[in-house]
């Protein structure tokens, strides 16, 4: 492929990204001392969420949730991003598959009715 075409392809790829994630909320979860902080993460319903998980421990952890259909290893002193939602109101369990004592919840609150 001629090198003068590469910038055009890159520009085209980036113009789609901002619109696709315009309604995405960012939430953060920390793993420290083999525990999740916060243990309960409250999020709005019907919203796509960019969840950034930061492992401050030396050893790796595995963020896993059957409820959210997610499983990802977070390296020691590493950071990963997971997209979840939009979700219905409710409680969604997550845990560290390498240390089942470390558990938490995503609590999805109903959104206010905009029609009233």
CATH, residue 67? 2.60.40.420
Residue 16: partners with Cβ closer than 8 Å, 6 or more residues away? none
Tens digits of residue pLDDT in 1-36: 444 444 433 333 333 344 444 568 999 999 999 999
Residue 105 lies in a domain: yes
Residue 1 lies in a domain: no
Residue 56 lies in a domain: yes
SS (H, E, C) the chain: CCHHHHHHHHHHHHHHHHHHCCCCEEEEEEEECCEEECCEEEEECCCCEEEEEEECCCCCEEEEECCCCEEEEECCCCEEEEEECCCCCEEEEEEECCEEEEEEEEEEECCCCCCC
Residue 10 lies in a domain: no
Structural domain boundaries, residue 89: 21-109
Tens digits of residue pLDDT in 94-113: 999 999 999 999 999 887 76
pLDDT recorded at residue 110? 86
Total structural domains within the chain: 1
Residue labelled with tokens 């999740």? 36
Residue 11 lies in a domain: no
Residue labelled with tokens 């259909």? 69
Percentage of residues of the chain with pLDDT beyond 90 = 72
pLDDT recorded at residue 22? 55
Residue 28 lies in a domain: yes
Residue 2 lies in a domain: no
């Amino acid at each position: 492929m001629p090198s003068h075409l590469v910038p055009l392809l890159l520009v085209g790829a980036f113009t789609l990204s901002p619109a696709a994630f315009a309604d995405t909320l960012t939430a953060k979860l920390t793993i420290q001392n083999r525990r999740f902080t916060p243990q309960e993460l409250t999020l709005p319903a019907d919203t796509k969420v960019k969840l950034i998980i930061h492992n401050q421990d030396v050893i790796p952890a595995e963020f896993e949730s059957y409820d959210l259909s997610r499983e990802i290893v977070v390296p020691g002193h590493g950071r990963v991003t997971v997209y979840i939602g939009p979700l219905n109101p409710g409680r969604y369990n997550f845990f560290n598959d390498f240390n089942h004592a470390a558990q938490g919840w995503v609590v999805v609150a109903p959104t206010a009715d905009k029609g009233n």
